Amino acid sequence: MTATNLLGVPETRLPAEPDVVADLETLTTAEVVVAHPTSSLAWALLSDEADARGAELEAYAYARVGYHRGLDALRKAGWRGQGPVPWSHEPNRGVLRSLFGLRLGASAIGEVDEVERPTTFLHDADPAVLPTLETRTD
């Protein structure tokens, strides 16, 4: 199923982060965050690690930082608070994963009202994101 952009707002495509991707091959995720603190991908991965070890509050906090870093990157790339942020563009995945982690973390810590905001954001960014992330196994 292909999403239709009814608003006519151009897609936002974040720039690639080759240094972050390269460092993920040789450093721990925490070391990558220290080396690249503006990378929402690094924060999303750190959130995933915390979630995997059952540290729900930590996972939520890391996802929230990744979300805010992602908002900064989106705005820098010309995003004005609406319009598509396609999952298919790999550099966008860090902010989208951070939003998904924020949604999971909010649910895990019982912040029910906060679950809806990232859910809506993800759906509006790209309707394929939630089904994709809900079924991922990485």
What distance in Å separates the CA atoms of residue 86 and residue 83, rounded to the nearest whole number? 9
Give the pLDDT score at 4. 53
Domain-wise residue ranges, the chain? 28-134
8 A C-beta contact, residue 49 and residue 107: no
Provide DSSP, the chain.
Answer: -----TT-PPPP-PPP-HHHHHHHHHS-HHHHHHH-TT-HHHHHHHHHHHHHTT-HHHHHHHHHHHHHHHHHHHHHTT--S-S---TTSGGGHHHHHHHHHHHHHHHHTT-HHHHHHHHHHHHHH-TTHHHHHHT---
What distance in Å separates the CA atoms of residue 86 and residue 122, rounded to the nearest whole number? 10
Average pLDDT, the chain: 93
What distance in Å separates the CA atoms of residue 81 and residue 29, rounded to the nearest whole number? 29
The 10 Å Cβ neighbour count of residue 55 is 14
The 10 Å Cβ neighbour count of residue 127 is 16
Taking 70 as the threshold, does the pLDDT of residue 6 lie above it? no
Predicted TM-score of the model (pTM): 0.91
Mean pLDDT of 99-111: 95
Q: pLDDT tens across 46-95, in order?
A: 999 999 999 999 999 999 999 999 999 999 999 999 999 999 999 999 99
